[in-house]
Amino acid sequence: MAWRTTLDLGCDALTLSLVEAQKQTLLDYVALLEKWNKAYNLTAVRDPMEMISRHILDSLAILPAIQGDAVLDVGTGAGLPGIPLAIANPALSVALLDSNSKKTRFLQQAKAELALDNVMVVHGRVEQVDVEQQFDTVTARAFASLEKVVALAGRHCKETGCLLLMMGDAPPLSEQQALNDFEVIEVAVLQVPNTDGARHIVKLMRRDS
């Protein structure tokens, strides 16, 4: 199957060793995305082959940067990057947070159908929701400036934890230097197989940690 070949080649390019069951679960997730997307408008990407490159491999590309085993995925939408991360590393405990009720209904369905025991779905706004714990890694496909993301999501991060933001272009130095409680530790280029355009990952930690 073309889906499987694209996934296999992408995992090889990312030097990720996934077992057969994990790869099948990732493909089952893509099939769910395609099915639910028609009614729920989960993602603008409609082609499953494109979903594998632009969503699955893009998410898996940050796996080596994940710190600790408790992960919060803020504004997860259809479960990205959280669900691929949870499938690729079952030792992670991944909380998926989104304010859109349609999307969280899909996430609950995906959790059940894919038997993702290491996933928790949280419905609410990041600045308002009360999650009973803080996290080693808080990740997001950046939806605002660094300052705004830190203001909204920083409180969910442990003292020694990190914010891991997926961005297109790297944030300008002026934006990085404008932060108060957090500082940028690393800005790295993400090499995502079969994907055009700039991709970066930005890691931030508390200044007093």
pTM for the whole thing?
A: 0.95
Position of tokens 């934890």?
Answer: 161
Which secondary-structure segment (H or E) carries 140?
Answer: strand 135-141
Determine the Cα–Cα distance for residues 86 and 174; give it in Å rounded to an integer.
34
Report phi then psi at 185, rounded to 5.
-95, -35
Token reading at 112: 């059940």
At 142 the pLDDT is: 67
Report phi then psi at 174, rounded to 5.
-60, -40
Give the domain extent around 182.
2-206
- Domains in the chain, number: 1
Determine the Cα–Cα distance for residues 62 and 90; give it in Å rounded to an integer.
15
Q: How far is CA 10 from CA 101, 189, 196, in A?
A: 32, 17, 14
- Nearest-CA neighbor of 163 among 178, 152, 175? 152
At 100 the pLDDT is: 93
CATH number for the domain harbouring residue 171? 3.40.50.150
Q: What is the pLDDT along the chain (209 residues), one digit of tens a residue?
A: 788 899 999 999 999 999 999 999 999 999 999 999 888 888 888 888 889 998 999 999 999 999 999 999 999 999 999 999 999 999 999 999 999 999 999 999 999 999 999 999 999 998 888 888 999 999 998 677 898 889 999 999 999 999 999 999 999 998 998 898 999 999 999 988 888 888 999 999 998 74
At 43 the pLDDT is: 87
At 128 the pLDDT is: 86
Token reading at 29: 């997730």
Report phi then psi at 204, rounded to 5.
-125, 145
